Structure 1
Amino acid sequence: MASYPGIEKIRGDALKEVKNVESAFQKAGEKRFKIKGVLGEGTGGVALKMAMISKPSPTSQPVQEFILKRAYNTEQEAKLRKEIAFVQRFRGDMHVAQFFSLEGEPIDSISYLKGPTLLTEWIGNGTLKELIVKRADWGKPLPNRMLWRLFLCLCRMLIAMAWPSDRPPGTKRESERVPSPNENGKRPDKLELHHGDLNIQNILIGNLDLSEHAFVNTLIIIDFGASSIEEDETKAGQAAKVNISKMGEIMLNLIGGRVMKSAAGSSNMNFITVEGQNTIRSWARDLDGLNPVYKAPASTVAEHKDRMDNLDPDLRRLVIRCLATAMNNRPELEDLVEEVERNVSGKAATYYASYRYGSNETNSEVARIMKELLHDATTS
C-alpha cells in the first residue's frame, strides 16, 4: 500500500478499508482519480481526500479535489447510508457540504466498490477550529461585523436542518431562508433533526462570493453520520433548540470562551432588552470573565477581558440566550435568524467607531483579517 499523508493517524478497520479502496481502484483500472491523503475517521467511517487526474495542457481546468467516505463494518455502513440520505435532503443548500458527482456513477456508490460510498465536495480553507486557534494566537478580538456574519452562516445551517430543501439534482446552490408563513400565518413544521456532532471541527471554511459572503468566507457544515430525527411527538420543537445551543457554543468559541458542562460551568447572567433587564442561567458564563476554575494566568485573564469589552452587547445577549440552560429560554429559530439578519444588514463600521478596535470593523479590514487568519496569525 502507498504511504498517504494522514495514514499514520488511523488504525485497525479504518486502515484496512483504505487498503481495500486502493486495491479496488487498481483492479478496476481506475484512471480518473487517485487518493491524495487520509483525512481521518469520522462517525460514518474513514474519509479520503481525492484528486481528479488531469493531463496539463493550455486549456486544462484546475485539478478537482473531493472527499470519498467509506464505512468499514455493517454498523458504519448503516450510518453512512443515513448520512448520504441526509446530504441528499440538503442538496442545493449553500451552507451544507454537497455531493461530488462522478460521471456514470450513482450518488451513493461506486460500481466496483462494495457497499455505500459518499462523495462530497472538497472545501480547502480548513476548519473553524483552525481559525479559532489562530485567533487565539493573534490575541485580539475578532471584529464584531465578522462575528455577526459568521453567526448568520451558522443560522443558515440551522434553517437547512429545520426545513431541508430537498432540491433535485443539478439545482443551483442557494442561501437558506426561513419559509414564509401561509395565509393562516403558519410556517411548515420544522424537521426534528438533531445533527448529533455539531462542533468547530465539523464546520469548514468555504470561499467568498458576491452575496452575504463578500468579505467574510462562507461556513459549511459536514458530517451527518451521527444525525437523527426525533420521533417522540412530545419533544416537538426541541431539536432546533438543541442545535441552537450547539451553535451558541461555537459562537462562544469564536468570541474567546468555551462551555464547561459542570456545576461551575453555568451562572445567572444579566442582559438588557427593550423590555428592561433580564436574568437567565446560561452556559455562556465566560462572557462575564474567565471561569476561575481554569486557573488562567493574569495575562490571559486580561486578554480575555479585552475581548469581552469589545463585544457588541447585542451579540453577547444572543449568545447568552442560545446557551440558556433551560431550553425554553433559548430563542425560537425564526426569531434568532431575524435578529442576526437585522444586525448584519443594519450595523455599518461606523456603529463601532467608539470601540477600542473599531478601526477593524470596516469591510476592507474585516476582509484583511479574515484572509490573513486563514493563512497565519500575524495580522495586526
Structure 2
Amino acid sequence: MGFRDVQREQTDYFAFHRMGRASAWSRQKRREAIHNLEFPRRRPARWPGFGPPPPHHLHPGRHTFREPEPYRKSQEDEKKEGPSTGVQRRARRLERLLAQEGMRFEKVLGWGGFGMACLFSMSSGEKVVVKIELEGRDTIEKERRNYELMRDAHHVLHMYNLAAEEAIEESDLAAGGLFLEFMERGTLEKWIVKMAKERKTFSDRALWTIFDCLVRGLVALAYPGTKWRAEESARDFNESPRDTMVHFDIDPTNLLVGGFGTFGQRNHAIVPIHKIGDLGLGEIFNFRARRETERVWYARQSGKAYLYTPEQFTEEWDWHIAAPASDGAPTAGNYRESMNLWQMGWTMYALITLCWPNEKKEPFVYASRVFDRPVKDATYGGDLLYSGRYDDTDRDLRRVVAQCLYHSPLSRPTLRELEVHIRDKLRTRLNNSEEEARAWAKRFYGEPERRRPAPPPAPARERWNMGAHHPNRFGGAARARFGQVFSNESILDLERVRRRRADEDHRPVIRRQPQPRRFWRD
C-alpha cells in the first residue's frame, strides 16, 4: 500500500469516527469508496470551521447533550477470569528463569496481543513489575528509551535496571523485557469503577488533588530529560516546551495509583500518588518533527480510538497532502504538550462523571476566559457545564476541565497556568477540609501505609547505543552505583561494547560471571 493510499484510508476512517461510527468502519467494505475519495479537497479552499451552532445549542440544557455511558467494569475485573493457556505457559517459563536471579513470582498482572506484565518479589521484599514483549516489534526498546528520559520524574512510573534483564534478553522467551515500579493500588480505572458502583462521587478536594498529580506528570512529559531536584514544575522554565514527549495513550487504564506518603517534596496524604505509565507509544515531537509528512500521518492513528484528540480526528486534515503544520494548520498534526492535556482532560471528565466519553464527540462552542485571555472555541466538555448532571461538583473545576477539552491547542490552558491555578485552589476551603479528606481517603483507598520518604531516583545506567562512551575504568559513580559487583562478579565484554557502539547489539555490556546471584537497582 502506497503512502497516498494510507492517507485516503485514514481520511475515510476519520469521517466515520467524527460521526461516532468508527466501530462500523471496514477496510474491505470501504475499498471502492476509498479508491474514489476526493483527496485532498479543493472546495472550499480550506476547512471552514464548525460554522454557526445548531439551534439546540443556543439554550443548552440536559436535552442538548447525550448522556454518556457509566463505568461498570474495569479491565482488571475482566482479567480476573485468568490468563489464557499460552500466557500461563510463558509466565511459568519466566518464573523459572527469574528464580535463578533470586526473584519470586507473584502473579500475572495483565496481558495483550504483544506482551504481558507479571509481578515479582525480590529478596529484599520489594515488588517489581516485569513487562516482556512476546513479538519482535521493538516496542520494549522504544519504551525503555522513553522511561530513561523520565528517570528523575516523580509522577511518571520509574524503570529499574536489574541484572536479571540480561537473563531475559539472552533467553528465547521474549523479544525484550522491562523492570518497572509496582503501584500497589492498581489503575485509576479501578477506583473510578469502584466509585461508580457505590453510586457516590469524588470530593472536590480529592479531584483537585488528583488533578494536581496528573498535571505534574504532564510537566515531566513536556520537558523530557530534566533532572527534577524537587517536584515537576512548569514555573522552572521561562519558555514553552520544545521537545515534548507526546504520550498518545493517556487514559485511566494507564494512570497508576500508588501509596500515601512523601514523594519528592510533596506529601500525598489526601489521595495516594498518581503516576503516568505505559510510555510504549510515546514520541518526541518538536518543530521539525511536526513537519515530517509521513511521521505525522502515521502517528494519526496512535492510541485508542475513543481517545483520539482533535489533532488527530479534525476534518482539517482533508485539505493537506503534506504535514498540516507545515501549511499553517492550527490544529491538525500539531502534536505538542497540549495534546497530552486534552487526553488528561478526558481522565478528569471520567473522574467527575464516572462515565466513558461518548464515541461521537460533540463540539459545543463555548466562550470564556482562559485565565487572563478571552477564548471562543468549541469544547467537547460542554455537558460538564450545561447539562445539569454534575452541578454538585465545583463549577470552577468543571470550567477548567472544559477548557482543557477545547478543539484548538492554542485555546487550551498552558501547564504553567494550570499549575498556578490548582495551587491557589488547594489553599482555599473547598466542600470539605483536609482532615475530612484524609478520613475519606482512609475509608475509600484503605489504610494509608507508613512509608519513609522516597530517596531521589538514581541516574539510570548509561546505554551505549545512545551516543555515550563506555568507561575505561571502574570507579567514582560507576562503583558507587554497582558496589563491589565490578571487582568480583562481572566483567566488561569488549566485543559487546564494539557491537553496541555500532548499533548491532543492545545487550548490557557488563556480563556477569557465574557467582552467587545478586541484583542491583538504580
Change (3 A) 1:179 1:109: farther
1:232 is paired with a residue of what secondary structure? helix
The separation in 1 between residues aligned to 2:200 and 2:81, in whole angstroms, is: 35
Asked if the contact 1:260–1:283 (Cα under 8 Å) also holds between the matched residues in 2, the reply is: no
Amino acid at match of 1:160: A
2:378 is paired with a residue of what secondary structure? strand
Amino acid at match of 1:229: I
Change (3 A) 1:179 1:89: farther
Asked if the contact 1:42–1:223 (Cα under 8 Å) also holds between the matched residues in 2, the reply is: no
The match for 1:318 among 395, 400, 406 is 400
The separation in 1 between residues aligned to 2:351 and 2:444, in whole angstroms, is: 13
Asked if the contact 1:95–1:219 (Cα under 8 Å) also holds between the matched residues in 2, the reply is: yes
Q: Does residue 268 in structure 1 map to residue 340 in structure 2?
A: no
The match for 1:137 among 168, 190, 197 is 197
1:330-369, Cα deviation, whole Å (9 max, x unpaired): 122222222222222x31x2xx4xxxxx3xx111211122
1:37 alignment counterpart: 107
Asked if the contact 1:204–1:221 (Cα under 8 Å) also holds between the matched residues in 2, the reply is: yes
1:299 alignment counterpart: none
Asked if the contact 1:180–1:187 (Cα under 8 Å) also holds between the matched residues in 2, the reply is: no
| 1:182-201 matched pairs, under 5 angstroms | 186-187=238-239, 189-201=241-253
Deviation at residue 179 of structure 1 after TM alignment: 5.4
Deviation at residue 127 of structure 1 after TM alignment: 1.5
Deviation at residue 42 of structure 1 after TM alignment: 5.2
| 1:1-380 matched pairs, under 5 angstroms | 9-11=82-84, 14-15=87-88, 17-25=90-98, 30=100, 32-41=102-111, 45-53=115-123, 63-75=125-137, 78-102=138-162, 104-105=163-164, 110=168, 112-113=170-171, 115-165=175-225, 167=227, 174-178=230-234, 180-181=236-237, 186-187=238-239, 189-210=241-262, 211-230=266-285, 231-233=289-291, 234=325, 238-256=335-353, 257-262=355-360, 265-269=362-366, 271=368, 279-288=376-385, 305=389, 308-344=390-426, 346-347=427-428, 349=429, 352=430, 358=431, 361-375=432-446
Number of residue equivalences: 321
| Rg larger in structure | 2
1:135 is paired with a residue of what secondary structure? helix
Asked if the contact 1:162–1:192 (Cα under 8 Å) also holds between the matched residues in 2, the reply is: yes
Deviation at residue 209 of structure 1 after TM alignment: 2.2
Change (3 A) 1:135 1:224: same
Structure 2: tracts of 5 or more residues without a match? 1-78, 292-324, 327-332, 448-522
Deviation at residue 40 of structure 1 after TM alignment: 1.4
1:39 is paired with a residue of what secondary structure? strand
1:230-263, Cα deviation, whole Å (9 max, x unpaired): 3224479632111000000000111115422425
2:253 is paired with a residue of what secondary structure? coil
The separation in 2 between residues aligned to 1:163 and 1:274, in whole angstroms, is: 23
Alignment root-mean-square deviation, CA: 3.1
1:61-82, Cα deviation, whole Å (9 max, x unpaired): 6x2211001111111xx10011
The separation in 1 between residues aligned to 2:424 and 2:86, in whole angstroms, is: 49
The separation in 1 between residues aligned to 2:283 and 2:434, in whole angstroms, is: 39
1:46 is paired with a residue of what secondary structure? strand
Amino acid at match of 1:49: L
Identity fraction in percent: 23
Change (3 A) 1:220 1:8: same
